[in-house]
Structure 1
């Protein structure tokens, strides 16, 4: 039970009055969740109540549920209350002004039942806050201002049951209090010798309440041990900013070592080779006995031997007819597919050229736009038809970084993403380093093509 504020006590004689509160923090930072609670008290009967929508310049506003209506008693006097809760996320540093809100209603006249009533209107005072940019000491990593952040993992099989060649699903979960799930970055997973990675798409979700947003990001991947023996999964550290304490902290997934057993099919294949050898010898002996028996007892002629020359010819004709029909059916779609692939490749080359220009110019915003356009053009060019490009479109740098397992490239993308949301968002950016990393990845993809490659051939 919260104590009644002094503002509410002072306005008890009014028919309508506002009580607005903003979450108290030592400091406010860009992209941090700021909880805003707005209450309208009333003591008279009224119709057609309305509240203006909350719009804040240079900030994203997230409603936390619907408008609540209830009654309360203050010093023996009963009041009705309208309550709204919002999460406000500043997008730039500097002064943030939350504008005053307007409430309107038609007040009933208790002595004139059929009258239209009189109009009543009140306006709240605006609130001004100072929003800080990303602290200078924050590492080159995605900016995560939250009141709590945790990381956990689970495996589809117990670590003591891992075997060479058997896929194991590793699921890493990030939970943040004060951040939506789609703002949580993909977890950078380092390369491990004798482990092959097959990442799956990351899923995000939000839990909304009057206490704010709790975001969750679930990242799954398949691990396939390529060799037996001990394998160490390195420690994972995610930096984040504790807005309650005003300090840098890390969410840590400790390192652990697992022992991978040899593949079972290795022993089975060895035994199978021996069995197959014995079987072959027995078959050869049987064939030899049969041949010997036939030599001693005369020649045996099968009735089917008269048709032995006819069946190969019939099979060859049937195969030829099927090949011709298949070629006729596929000729037209193949031509259309070749035309579409040619257009997609041309568009990708144009986007790659624009990306090179943006990297040389060093403007962070232009580079961000060119990078996403090229990535989606490359993705459309490499789709295999199982999914549409709309379903797999890349809309953010963290989403783009999730497609790589290159720590240096992911670090460069994180640096660009952090610069875009910092106070120096319009400053120059060294795009040559990012371009060099992209070209290196392009060369690797040319040597070893992949369906989801983002680099032009």
Structure 2
């Protein structure tokens, strides 16, 4: 115990004496010379004392280079009873142009290092490739594009050492949108006899301004493990900082052609399709039909898609139904989609035609105006049993005002001549008045009874609150519950529509109608995406949808029961 205390006292005395030591030596070294433009090298500044981190600020001294982060490490050692300390500053530097450079002397607490003459070679020079730990290659699919035409930028990071941590920064482009596409890819590759691990990342760059632009190179900052073994007595890390920058790329962005009219949509491929739901051999006048348009464009953002607003013939009443926009990635390419639905109500019988619909777009491959269009569709429409054309016409809002000329003519013809003598009535005036009063009372009574009867019918047609037992006994509800449990998107759609058609007064014929009525748009969206999107992913939200629908139905039943209660203070 006494020996341990004495040893501790000696160590404290040595440390106290070292604290009063002064800086007597500052050295600066680089890990290699010459170096390559746009590739990093490491500057190490060593001080034979314990100094604070802010005594060396690389960014103020090295303006000819891109300065990466500076790491600081300290080491304490004892040799033959002599205690010594060192502080080591490690900074990553990246030269951007070839040439001859000088790293100036670095002064810390009055002691300066020697300057370093540095030679920077052009990128791609073979004389220095064997020493490269990291470098980035970048390429784009085209250097001549049109306004808002997407550019695919591929950055490939080569690392000759194991990665500890790092960050690949995308190119910072003025007047352009930059977003990553897909996931990173990893591989290995031999370069000049040295094995590299390759990390590939793809970006989509959309220019928002025409003219010449420069895409700065993507940049990597990180740490790799060194090959030497770390001593248990050393506080220096066994990692080495490393950075790299890809070469900048010049791009010419052409403006929208002067002859272009309409919405500007540059793309490699655009398709437009239309579908009818339900698909039947014939349709009935007065019953709604869902017509959906799907617009798909390759390589564009969803907000670049135009509006879908076809012109429909007067033989249909048209109501907007649903509007959805989505995007996804396939094989490193962004694909955007817009789906717009309309509810069409045919107003007459016969073969009714929905005309073709066209959307212009600019083909970036052929540099030509192209049309995406649907084919015309002919729907056989029949008159429902027991109805006539006049019934369908009367159901639609019309202007039934009589012609003013006929009114004037009729009134003129029936107006008595002022020179003739009016004949005496055959029935006394008081009898006519009594009959008129009686007729008016009768008409009012009949009108009241008619209104009362219609009100009762409307109340009978209102959806009745359904108990939990009745709900669970419903075949369509059981099918919906089973479909959600199995994440069967098609079965869930059919069973939910069947249940709503039966239990919600028959006025709900689509998922969009049900979603709006039950306020479950967020839960319906994944189901619709799985059903209608090209290459849609597997639906996995069945449990969430079932729980939300059940909750909304229960809340709806509670509200209806409360609304059927008599008023507390009836008027």
Identify the TM-score tier after normalising by the shorter chain: 0.5 to 0.7
- With over 3 angstroms needed to count, the CA separation of the structure-2 counterparts of 1:266 and 1:37, relative to structure 1, is same
- Distance in 2 of aligned mates of 1:12 and 1:260: 76
In structure 2, the residue matched to 1:246 is 367
In structure 2, the residue matched to 1:189 is 310
Q: Aligned with 1:220: secondary structure?
A: strand
Pick the aligned partner of 1:93 from 207, 210, 231: 210
- Is residue 298 of structure 2 the alignment partner of residue 177 of structure 1? yes
Shift of 1:154: 0.9
Matches within 5 A, 1:424-439: none
Q: Aligned with 2:138: secondary structure?
A: strand
Query: Of Structure 1 and Structure 2, which has the larger fraction of its residues in strand?
Result: 2
- Distance in 2 of aligned mates of 1:217 and 1:197: 19
| Kept after mapping to 2: 8 A contact 1:170/1:220 | yes
- Distance in 2 of aligned mates of 1:24 and 1:235: 35
- With over 3 angstroms needed to count, the CA separation of the structure-2 counterparts of 1:85 and 1:170, relative to structure 1, is same
- Distance in 1 of aligned mates of 2:349 and 2:314: 11
Shift of 1:245: 1.5
Pick the aligned partner of 1:82 from 199, 205, 215: 199
- Distance in 2 of aligned mates of 1:261 and 1:64: 51
| Kept after mapping to 2: 8 A contact 1:93/1:133 | yes
Q: Aligned with 2:369: secondary structure?
A: strand
1:84-138 C-alpha deviation (Å, 9 max, x unpaired): 1111111111122211232223343322425424332222221121111111222
- Distance in 2 of aligned mates of 1:29 and 1:161: 47
- Distance in 2 of aligned mates of 1:37 and 1:233: 45
- Distance in 2 of aligned mates of 1:20 and 1:209: 21
1:391-410 C-alpha deviation (Å, 9 max, x unpaired): 9xxxxxxxxxxxxxxxxxxx
In structure 1, the residue matched to 2:77 is none
Q: Aligned with 2:387: secondary structure?
A: helix
- Is residue 155 of structure 2 the alignment partner of residue 33 of structure 1? no
- With over 3 angstroms needed to count, the CA separation of the structure-2 counterparts of 1:253 and 1:46, relative to structure 1, is closer
| Kept after mapping to 1: 8 A contact 2:271/2:296 | yes
| Kept after mapping to 2: 8 A contact 1:85/1:210 | no
In structure 2, the residue matched to 1:289 is none
- Distance in 2 of aligned mates of 1:264 and 1:183: 47
Q: Aligned with 1:65: secondary structure?
A: strand
| Kept after mapping to 2: 8 A contact 1:160/1:260 | no
In structure 2, the residue matched to 1:211 is 332
Matches within 5 A, 1:335-374: none
In structure 2, the residue matched to 1:19 is 137
| Kept after mapping to 2: 8 A contact 1:242/1:248 | yes
1:244-294 C-alpha deviation (Å, 9 max, x unpaired): 111111111122333311123417x99xxxxxxxxxxxxxxxxxxxxxxxx
- Distance in 2 of aligned mates of 1:259 and 1:235: 17
- Is residue 276 of structure 2 the alignment partner of residue 126 of structure 1? no
Gap runs ≥5 in structure 1: 1-6, 271-384, 392-457
- With over 3 angstroms needed to count, the CA separation of the structure-2 counterparts of 1:168 and 1:386, relative to structure 1, is closer
Backbone CA RMSD of aligned residues: 3.1
- Distance in 1 of aligned mates of 2:274 and 2:142: 33
Matches within 5 A, 1:11-410: 13=130, 14-24=132-142, 27-74=144-191, 77-114=194-231, 115-116=236-237, 117-139=239-261, 141-158=262-279, 160-266=281-387
| Kept after mapping to 1: 8 A contact 2:155/2:218 | no
Q: Aligned with 1:57: secondary structure?
A: coil
| Kept after mapping to 2: 8 A contact 1:182/1:217 | no
- With over 3 angstroms needed to count, the CA separation of the structure-2 counterparts of 1:83 and 1:113, relative to structure 1, is same
Gap runs ≥5 in structure 2: 1-122, 392-515, 523-571
Shift of 1:74: 4.8
- Distance in 1 of aligned mates of 2:151 and 2:245: 22
- Distance in 2 of aligned mates of 1:148 and 1:262: 42
Shift of 1:240: 0.4
| Kept after mapping to 2: 8 A contact 1:182/1:205 | no
| Kept after mapping to 2: 8 A contact 1:62/1:88 | yes
In structure 1, the residue matched to 2:103 is none
Aligned positions, number: 268
TM-score with structure 2 length normalisation?
A: 0.43
- With over 3 angstroms needed to count, the CA separation of the structure-2 counterparts of 1:202 and 1:142, relative to structure 1, is same
In structure 1, the residue matched to 2:448 is none
| Kept after mapping to 1: 8 A contact 2:312/2:354 | no
Structure scoring higher RCO (CA < 8 A, sep ≥ 6) equals 1
- Distance in 1 of aligned mates of 2:340 and 2:166: 45
- Distance in 2 of aligned mates of 1:145 and 1:32: 6
| Kept after mapping to 2: 8 A contact 1:175/1:214 | yes
* 219-228 vs 113-122, greater mean Cα deviation: 113-122
1:334-373 C-alpha deviation (Å, 9 max, x unpaired): xxxxxxxxxxxxxxxxxxxxxxxxxxxxxxxxxxxxxxxx
